[in-house]
Amino acid sequence: MYDSDPIFSFLVALAIGVSSYKGFNDKEYEAKLIFSTKHILSYKQYYRLLTSGLLHGGFGHLLFNMYSFVSFSARLEFHISPMLPVIILILGIIFGGFISLLIHKQHEYYAYGASGGVCAVIYASIFLFPGGRISMLFLPISIPSYLFAFLYLLYSAYASAKAQDNIGHEAHLGGAICGTAFAAIFDPETIFESLPLYLTVIAVSYVYFYVMFNKLHYSLVGKDLSEVFNELKRKCYSRKGTVQEKEQLNSLLEIVSIVGFENLPKSDQDKLRKLSAIFKKEMISIKKGKDDYYRQRGG
């Protein structure tokens, strides 16, 4: 199909494969490289934004990513530069990881895979070499590349918003955005050649980030954190405290539901802890009273 096989991309894929295989059998190695919001934010281990791309969840995950990477890197490697697919891959992994960090910073989250970088290579290739078709792995069919890009972008945004599995779909979306932006900067004429698809990427990205960030407390706050604050709110309404205390607690809970507890100023964190302690004591007192009541009745 091309004048030369993407040898350099093959070598990169082989290196990722070797690293991923080691991760399959060495959990200590995996723990050092995996994407972890806790280690990145608390321990400043920012290298995990990149090293998570050296791991995969299984042979199927690894095979699909590396097949896609080599397939779409061929034109980039031969017609532009052998190093270009690798540069885009690295940028996509980091940017996809950054998007995941923004989305999941409210709770502990782990992920691995080079999917963000692979998506960046796919979209850069599609925009820099428009008009091609994509063959599906193990299936004797092909679809226009622009249709693949459109459907994949919609699926990634939808799946990330639903958050019903452990796949980092937001990293896929971040990689797609990175690859699109790279193509536009590298060759601005591609914007006009594929304007509908560019506008689609912009529109889907805008809607996605609007939903995920402006309505954060509905879809992204960790379940444990959400349950804690809902319980506090229920206690607030049942407590015979002052109106001022209730208003303070409600205001703090509203802020926490949007920005997260860890992003509150220390004074507000301390205030919330104090109010929580008050309500906890009252709930213990109520429970003790109920237990005494049923004990007296022989229940």
Hey, is 110 helix, strand or coil?
strand
Q: Does the pLDDT of residue 173 top 80, yes or no? A: yes
pLDDT recorded at residue 294: 42
Reported confidence tier of residue 208, pLDDT bands at 50, 70, 90: confident
CB distance 255 to 247 below 8 Å: no
Reported confidence tier of residue 224, pLDDT bands at 50, 70, 90: very low
Of 184, 257, 251, nearest to 217 by C-alpha is 257
Return the amino acid letter for 25.
N
Q: Does the pLDDT of residue 151 top 50, yes or no? A: yes
CA atoms within 13 A on the CB side of 173: 28
Instruction: Calculate the alpha carbon distances from 218 to 63, 139, 200, 213, 214 in Å.
Output: 35, 39, 25, 10, 9
pLDDT recorded at residue 298: 43
Which structural domains are found in the chain, ordered by start? 7-217 (1.20.1540.10), 223-296 (no CATH)
First to last CA, the chain: 80
Average pLDDT, the chain: 78
Cα–chain center distance at 75: 29
pLDDT recorded at residue 152: 75
To 10 degrees, what angle do helices 7-25 and 59-79 make? 160
Lowest-confidence segment of 92-96, 146-150, 210-214, 236-240 by average pLDDT: 236-240
- Give 95-128 pLDDT, tens digit per residue: 999 999 988 887 788 888 898 999 999 999 999 9
Looking at the chain, the whole-number percentage of residues with pLDDT higher than 70 is 68
- For residues 43 and 89, which has the higher predicted lDDT (pLDDT)? 89
> Which residue is associated with the tokens 């193509």?
183
pTM for the whole structure: 0.69
pLDDT recorded at residue 218: 43
Reported confidence tier of residue 222, pLDDT bands at 50, 70, 90: very low
Q: Does the pLDDT of residue 40 top 90, yes or no? A: yes
Of 167, 122, 114, 187, nearest to 148 by C-alpha is 122
CA distance linking residue 82 with residue 100, whole number of Å: 29
Hey, is 34 helix, strand or coil?
coil
Q: Does the pLDDT of residue 221 top 50, yes or no? A: no
pLDDT recorded at residue 290: 44
